[in-house]
A and B are shown apart, each in its own frame.
Chain A
Amino acid sequence: MTHTSRARRHVALPITGALAGALAGALLLSGCGSTPAEAPTDALNVVATTTQLTDFATQVGGDDISLTGLLSVGASAHHFDPSPKELLALSQADVLIVNGAGLETFIDSAIEASGFDGAIITAADGVDLEAHEEEEHEHQHEDEAPDQDADHDEADHAHEESDHADHADHDHDHGGVNPHIWTSPRNAIGMVDEIEHGFVAADPENEAAYTQRASEYRATLTALDEWISTQFEQIPEADRVLVSGHDSLHYYLEDYGIEFAGSIIPSFEDNAEPSAAEIDALVATIQERGVKAIFVESSMSPKLARTIAKEAGVTVVDSESLFADSLGAEGTGAETYVAATIHNTRVIVEAWGATPTELPAELGGAE
């Protein structure tokens, strides 16, 4: 080292020292700054993944739980990048409600990262997916059905989930189970059952309150189911053919005798793009089946649907999107599961040229 560089080192060291000092200072100061966060209350701390589960948990838990929903409104239910706030909420939670059926491939790493060690409620366990399996056989290759373990021990759950994740990675299209189980109100009733049992198990003191709210909500869902059936009965069976953004309404369509002609996106990914050949095939199907309208989910961009609709010479219903993956934001009139499902039904029925009937009294409150 030359003389000059030694002189420079004298300059450099204080600068380095100052920098390190500043960093240390910033860190110490940050220790004093208090961070307001969701205080863990005496109430049951619950975290739910999808917006629909968050609504179900609100309906069943009421004021007896302190609830955090992970997925944001309008987002796809298929991927999620947890923020520190959400991981913190998860680390303090007593109960985590997941959809199951292979939807939340993201939840394992979030559970591990947060150190969550509470009870996991898998809503899909309350739904008889075996019954739907029959329908699935006409799909491409059949994947092994998920073993619906009643056992909620975490390692087991994680294993099961990752098992699903692996399948999801490997199969294209819809091998296995369609995870959008909530779109059918009949399935939703089973999901509410599961949530009710989970809450009672985690917080036996409030059992009466949970049971009371859950049965009231189930009555509402039953009324909803009946109302929807009435709506679609107005439409001749041959006309009940639907094309949507991705195959997210599977169980809803199955319940009400609506045929699914195809989806714009072949996978569950809202931002994916189909190939030109896939678009051509879909356009051909639309024309052949006399599909009147294409519906777009709120979590998708309607651009692609417009292109396809133009090609096929049909209308695209994008002013009033369907709420499948996610419930609606504040002010959309679809903030709750019941409201969103009523909205979807009306949009489809109106696009097919029928007029939705008045809502029954039980659903009047959901307006």
Chain B
Amino acid sequence: MIDVGVFAMFSLPFMMRALIAIAILSVAAGAVGVFINFRELEFVSDGLVHAVFPGLVIGMLVGGSAGLLPGAVIAAVIAAALFAFLGRTGGSGRDAGIAVTLTGLFSLGVVIVSRSESYVSQLQELLFGRILTVTVAQLWQIAVVALAALVIIWCARRALLFRSFDPAGFENAGFNAFRTDLALNVAVALLVVAGVQALGVLMVIAILVLPVAIARLLSRALWSLMPIATLIMFGAGVAGLWASFEWSVSGRVSASPGALIVLILISAYIVGVGISFAVGRLGRKPMCERR
């Protein structure tokens, strides 16, 4: 019998790559996720996730796995602009528009996939991701795309904060709301593209929303949300990969690491809610005035 300790485990190429992918995604998800949370863009993010799907499919059909990322980026940017435009109408019109676009694009993706030779396996791969077989080339792609998302967030951070906390003042100060929304949407879309290769279309929304939601339960300090969300995401990633490896090797169950990571995040959220409740912080005034 050999012992696979935790360090030996993560020195295996596939575990190491999965870990690096998770680390990159953690940082990007922390930064972008904070603004998704402030602006209540969870549904828009979900729309973007589904909109990226046909892009992935077309990319895959055109250029195999190398075409995945370009296809996704193009679809994501188009969808980001579309949603920013829909956002101008505001209120329920926006949500209806997103819902229509989301299902429409997702169905389009499914229809295109069914034209291809081995569509079921490809569909599985796109929906659930394959974090264990992330290649070095894909890691670079993830890194570049995540960095682009971070750069956009960094450049637009003041406008984003202003728009989140004082939309009326933001308009009056002469800022362009559409441009700011577009910047954030594009950043979210890029993060989706980065996350899709590792976690798949169905689970990537979890890393956009959950780490920051947990961070907000734990801390009220604005400056701390981003690092806490990143830490939580990375911790969940390490724990999920580790659990998946242990269970698989000991022959108990072969669970997808991506799914385990999401489950751990959700458990952490539930625990976080419990703790907040115990500390008695629920029901207080929210941190910022929402629209």
Residues of chain A within 8 A (CB-CB) of B254 are 83, 85
Q: Is chain B's binding surface mostly helix, strand, loop or mixed? A: helix
State whether B133 touches A11 (Cβ < 8 A). no
State whether A84 touches B7 (Cβ < 8 A). no
Residues of chain B within 8 A (CB-CB) of A271 are 120
0 or 1 for each of A266-287: is its CB under 8 Å from B? (1 = yes): 0111111100000000000000
Given known pairs A40-B2, A269-B120, the reply for A112 and B249 (CB within 8 Å) is no
* Beta-carbon nearest neighbor of B5 in chain A: A31
Q: How many A-B residue pairs have CB under 8 A?
A: 161
Q: Which of B15, B118, B220, B245 contacts A267 (CB 8 A)?
A: B118
Docked pose: A20 CA to B134 CA in angstroms: 27
State whether B218 touches A16 (Cβ < 8 A). yes
State whether A5 touches B221 (Cβ < 8 A). yes
- Kindly state whether residue B61 has any CB partner on chain A within 8 Å: yes
Residues of chain A within 8 A (CB-CB) of B17 are 113
State whether B235 touches A23 (Cβ < 8 A). yes
- Kindly state whether residue B289 has any CB partner on chain A within 8 Å: no
0 or 1 for each of A76-99: is its CB under 8 Å from B? (1 = yes): 001101111101100100000000
State whether B120 touches A113 (Cβ < 8 A). no
Given known pairs A19-B232, A171-B117, the reply for A113 and B279 (CB within 8 Å) is no
- Kindly state whether residue A238 has any CB partner on chain B within 8 Å: no
Docked pose: A81 CA to B3 CA in angstroms: 24
* Beta-carbon nearest neighbor of A37 in chain B: B249
Which of the segments A161-169, A188-196, A251-259, A308-316 contacts the partner chain?
A161-169
Residues of chain B within 8 A (CB-CB) of A82 are 132-133
- Kindly state whether residue A34 has any CB partner on chain B within 8 Å: yes
- Kindly state whether residue A8 has any CB partner on chain B within 8 Å: yes
Residues of chain A within 8 A (CB-CB) of B248 are 83-85
State whether A27 touches B13 (Cβ < 8 A). no
Docked pose: A32 CA to B281 CA in angstroms: 38
Q: How large is the interface on A (under 10, 10 to 19, 20 to 34, 35 or more residues)?
A: 35 or more
- Kindly state whether residue B193 has any CB partner on chain A within 8 Å: no
0 or 1 for each of B216-238: is its CB under 8 Å from A? (1 = yes): 00111100100010011001001
Residues of chain B within 8 A (CB-CB) of A12 are 218-221, 224
Interface residues of A (CB under 8 A from B): 1, 5, 8-9, 11-13, 15-16, 19-20, 23, 26-28, 30-37, 39-40, 78-79, 81-85, 87-88, 91, 105, 109-110, 112-115, 162, 165-166, 168-172, 267-273
Interface residues of B (CB under 8 A from A): 1-7, 9, 12-15, 17, 60-61, 64, 114, 116-121, 124-125, 130, 132-136, 218-221, 224, 228, 231-232, 235, 238-239, 242, 244-246, 248-251, 254, 257, 268, 275, 279, 281
